[in-house]
Amino acid sequence: MTDKLTWIDEELQNLHNAGLYNHIRTLGSPQGAWLVVDGKKALNFCSNNYLGLANHPRLVAAAKKAMDQYGVGPGAVRTIAGTMDMHVKLDQRLAEFKGVDAAITFQSGFTANLAVIPALVGKEDVIFSDALNHASIIDGCRLSRAKIIAYEHASATDLELQLKAHRANFRRALVVTDGVFSMDGDLAPLDEIYAVTQNYEAILMVDDAHGEGVVGKGGRGIVDHFKLHGKVDVEVGTMSKAFGVMGGVVAGNAKVVEWLRQRGRPFLFSSAMTIPDVAACLEAVDMLEESTELVDKLWDNANYFKKEMATLGFDTGKSVTPITPVMLGEAPLAQEFSRKLYEAGVFGMALGFPTVPRGKARIRVMISAAHAREDLDLGLEAFLRVGRQLGVIA
Ligand SMILES: *Cc1c(COP(=O)(O)O)cnc(C)c1O
């Protein structure tokens, strides 16, 4: 009897052989500067918990209070019976925070992308997409059935060449880019992209998942960073990173938001965000509006860590954000480095293909406002020791 699933064993073995198998570690503690990882205490260099909000007492208290009042689940999709007053409030508060006309929330950033791209473009249309865009953007583009043209990463020059060559052959056009690229920590040149896009009647969309709560004034994101208020048609965001919770958002032009209430498929066919999620997100928005303290601490930490890593001789790529890639090259070396860090009490994940291109494997260190200076020093020491041991630095 042939097993019709034997191919999976073979494929998994291939992943092991290539050093690309995902070893998933399990946390036995809340998010924070320190974690219990597979039963062992370790310094956390992996989470997207930029501001330390994932286990913040204010967010926890807000979630508990809301659950006492509203229970746990929304009970339906937003369009039928799942829109509670707190969902409407979160939509409004996020729009205010971002300084845009309107916003609409989804279950995650991933579903926000799956909602908005197919709602804006279809079979007769074209999408110009940065070559390194996030998987959820790519999937949203594919779902739309529009023609997808990738332009060179972060190149407004190549974008213009592609627009010039192809735009006229299609009905509508969408230009879409990550704001902060999550694997390298570099920024899209959104000002230049805006300038180019203007001349070709294209909708401009940015996915600011790693920018919200991080870049711009008080963490208001990449549109604020480039002072492009009112010029970007669609901003996608997530509440799973700096906001420390879960949920996605599309913010921007009120017409787009209204259209998504009618045609955003994950809005129509998947249930609303849960009550504790919504309440915790509302609290996170309040905190970000009250003070820039956490965002400032995040940047102090990030600048310190990156400067010290460069002094030790590590290649931290072209990051201009708290995302700190430690470039190692081949995937097996990155995995070995990660194992040795873990033995030294530091949790730093190795990333390889297909998360990053082949030959560009790395440890990606995620700096957080939750880290104390001593935590960062301890991490630097571990990098120094392991880096020397594996011949990565002298
Ligand atoms: C993380 C990420 C997402 C997905 O966000 P979730 O809310 O976790 O689903 C989408 N886009 C980009 C660019 C991201 O980095």
Is the CB of 240 within 6 Å of ligand 1?
A: yes
Please give the number of the atom of ligand 1 that sits closest to the Cα of 108. Answer: 7
| Burial (CB count <10 Å: 0-12, 13-18, 19+), residue 11 | exposed
Are 285 and 309 contained in the same domain?
no
Q: Are strands 323-329 and 248-252 parallel, antiparallel or unpaired?
A: unpaired
Helix (H) or strand (E) holding 34: strand 34-37
Is the CB of 177 within 6 Å of ligand 1?
A: no
Residue nearest to atom 5 of ligand 1 (CA): 109
Look at residue 394 and tell me if it is in a domain: no
Are 225 and 121 contained in the same domain?
yes
Of the three residues 290, 322, 353, the one that is the final residue of a domain is: 290
Are 330 and 182 contained in the same domain?
no
Please give the number of the atom of ligand 1 that sits closest to the Cα of 247. Answer: 7
Are 265 and 296 contained in the same domain?
no
Is the CB of 83 within 6 Å of ligand 1?
A: no
Predicted pLDDT of residue 286: 98
* Alpha-carbon gap, residue 178 to 236, rounded angstroms: 9
Of the three residues 290, 307, 338, the one that is the final residue of a domain is: 290
CA distances from 331 to 11, 20, 134, 200, 390 (A): 17, 7, 20, 41, 14
Look at residue 339 and tell me if it is in a domain: yes
Are 248 and 340 contained in the same domain?
no
Are 307 and 284 contained in the same domain?
no
Of the three residues 290, 306, 341, the one that is the final residue of a domain is: 290
CATH code assigned at 156? 3.40.640.10
Please give the number of the atom of ligand 1 that sits closest to the Cα of 208. Answer: 13
Look at residue 5 and tell me if it is in a domain: no
Predicted pLDDT of residue 352: 87
Are 256 and 231 contained in the same domain?
yes
Measure 389 CA to ligand 1 centroid, in angstroms. 35
**How many structural domains does the chain have?**
2
* Alpha-carbon gap, residue 268 to 250, rounded angstroms: 15
Look at residue 2 and tell me if it is in a domain: no
Structure tokens at 86: 């707190």
Are 224 and 204 contained in the same domain?
yes
pLDDT tens series, the chain, 394 aa? 579 999 999 999 999 998 778 888 899 999 999 999 999 999 999 999 999 999 999 999 999 999 999 999 999 999 999 999 999 999 999 999 999 999 999 999 999 999 999 999 999 999 999 999 999 999 999 999 999 999 999 999 999 999 999 999 999 999 999 999 999 999 999 999 999 999 999 999 999 999 999 999 999 999 999 999 999 999 999 999 999 999 999 999 999 999 999 999 999 999 999 999 999 999 999 999 999 999 999 999 999 999 999 999 999 999 999 999 999 999 999 999 999 999 999 999 999 888 888 899 999 999 999 999 999 999 999 999 999 999 999 9
Are 286 and 297 contained in the same domain?
no
Predicted pLDDT of residue 1: 58
Are 152 and 82 contained in the same domain?
yes
Is the CB of 238 within 6 Å of ligand 1?
A: yes
Is the CB of 108 within 6 Å of ligand 1?
A: yes
By most ligand atoms within 8 Å of CB, the mutation choice from 238, 249, 366 for ligand 1 is 238
Measure 266 CA to ligand 1 centroid, in angstroms. 15
Write the DSSP symbol of residue 379: H
Look at residue 13 and tell me if it is in a domain: no
- Domain coverage including residue 336: 20-50+292-389
* β-sheet bridge partners, residue 207: 178, 236
Please give the number of the atom of ligand 1 that sits closest to the Cα of 182. Answer: 15
CATH code assigned at 377? 3.90.1150.10
Look at residue 370 and tell me if it is in a domain: yes
Are 86 and 196 contained in the same domain?
yes
Task: Indicate which residues carry an active-site annotation.
Answer: 182, 210, 241
Look at residue 113 and tell me if it is in a domain: yes
Measure 370 CA to ligand 1 centroid, in angstroms. 21
Look at residue 201 and tell me if it is in a domain: yes
Is the CB of 277 within 6 Å of ligand 1?
A: no
Are 100 and 242 contained in the same domain?
yes
